[in-house]
């Protein structure tokens, strides 16, 4: 514990570390039957305590969105309220459930495609792998508990490029040439309410402290293949914070990453070592990678059709699969725009978006 550190600061640090431990595990195994009952119960209890919030998932009419609790790229359906993470994921899930699944096409198209021609979007695999990589970046940017500060101005060109990709992905469906960047269409976000801004802070801290300690102790007993590799180290940080020992409030996946200047997910290795990936470098990579790659298109818009192009792999998405990914690219564009990123610490509700990104949308199958 730092000298002079108050209860609010201790709560915020422990909240970040406990939420990061859940995020490190990935899919919520604690809700199923694959874990020992006592461990699963401890993690469910921690998840419930982290979800406590004096605010609501969908804000009142009119105010700007809170980056810790709401999307920065879309309003709620009534057009006048910020859209909370859980509500957004519910809407995306409904769209994916209502639309056909997807099909990966390798070199030549198999007969009997699983997607109706008028409900498909075709992507060259290089284009699709770029989208996947960017959705991994969003999953890291939305890690629950992440403490976030402002962004370097270098993020602005990358943000604009990401919005162009979102428009390109939705164009075969909507036939719309361009849409406004979220930073132009949404108001500047409101300063986030501190997670520790609550009248029952002493009691809330003790609830969090007890739940975090029990959950962390349940995963520090030795090798366990059901745990993600980062979880034991994250649990040790939680136990140190619960004991009010000095511990960093966040650890990036690689040393040297500064999320104000670098990609949180990107990292580049060379013969002499590795280094973080800056915003300008990532924008240049995207431009170079896609320079000679066909843009997403409806099947009938390809000349020649993809099945007649040798030595190239293709991914075919349903309309819903393409549009949901475009929405998520726009959310990343918004969160990487310097004007849209006031200091905030993400609420645990962001884990709902991370789960969608890392499970259902991780592959080409939309989770089917």
| Segment-wise mean pLDDT, segments of 10 residues, the chain, 368 residues | 76 96 90 89 96 65 81 84 91 89 47 53 90 96 91 96 97 92 88 82 96 96 85 96 95 93 90 90 96 86 56 78 96 94 85 89 52
The pLDDT value recorded for residue 307 is 56
Half-sphere exposure for 345 (CA within 13 Å, toward CB): 23
pLDDT in tens, 82-141: 899 999 999 999 999 988 665 544 444 433 344 445 678 888 889 999 999 999 999 999
Query: How far apart (Å, rounded) are the C-alpha atoms in residues 121 and 318?
Result: 6
Specify burial of residue 243 (Cβ count, 10 A radius: 0-12, 13-18, 19+): exposed
The pLDDT value recorded for residue 366 is 46
The pLDDT value recorded for residue 188 is 84
Tokens 């699963």, located at residue: 40
């Amino acid at each position: 514990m730092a000298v002079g550190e108050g209860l609010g600061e201790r709560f915020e640090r422990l909240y970040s570390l406990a939420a990061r431990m859940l995020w490190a595990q990935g899919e919520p195994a604690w809700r199923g039957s694959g874990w020992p009952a006592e461990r699963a119960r401890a993690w469910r209890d921690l998840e419930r305590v982290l979800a406590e919030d004096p605010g609501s998932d969908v804000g009142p009419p009119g105010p700007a969105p809170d980056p810790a609790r709401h999307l920065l790229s879309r309003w709620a359906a009534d057009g006048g309220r910020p859209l909370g993470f859980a509500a957004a994921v519910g809407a995306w899930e409904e769209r994916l459930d209502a639309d056909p699944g997807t099909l990966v096409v390798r070199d030549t198209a198999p007969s009997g495609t699983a997607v109706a021609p008028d409900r498909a979007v075709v992507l060259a695999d290089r284009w699709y792998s770029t989208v996947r990589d960017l959705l991994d970046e969003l999953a890291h940017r939305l890690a629950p508990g992440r403490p976030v500060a402002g962004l370097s101005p270098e993020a602005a060109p990358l943000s604009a490029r990401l919005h162009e990709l979102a428009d390109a992905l939705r164009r075969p469906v909507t036939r719309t040439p361009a849409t406004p960047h979220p930073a132009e269409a949404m108001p500047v976000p409101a300063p986030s309410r501190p997670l520790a801004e609550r009248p029952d802070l002493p009691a809330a801290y003790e609830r969090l402290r007890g739940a975090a300690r029990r959950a962390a102790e349940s995963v520090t007993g030795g090798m366990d293949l059901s745990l993600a590799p980062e979880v034991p180290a994250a649990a040790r940080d939680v136990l140190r914070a619960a004991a009010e020992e000095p511990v960093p409030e966040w650890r990036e996946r690689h040393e040297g990453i500064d999320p104000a200047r670098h990609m949180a997910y990107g990292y580049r290795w060379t013969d002499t070592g590795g280094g973080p990936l800056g915003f300008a470098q990532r924008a240049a990579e995207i431009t170079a990678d896609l320079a000679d790659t066909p843009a997403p298109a409806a099947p009938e818009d390809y000349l020649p059709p993809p099945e007649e192009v040798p030595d190239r792999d293709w991914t075919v998405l349903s309309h819903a699969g393409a549009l949901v990914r475009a929405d998520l690219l726009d959310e990343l564009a918004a969160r990487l725009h310097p004007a849209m990123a006031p200091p905030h610490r993400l609420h645990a509700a962001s884990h709902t978006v991370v789960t969608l990104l890392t499970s259902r949308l991780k592959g080409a199958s939309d989770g089917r």
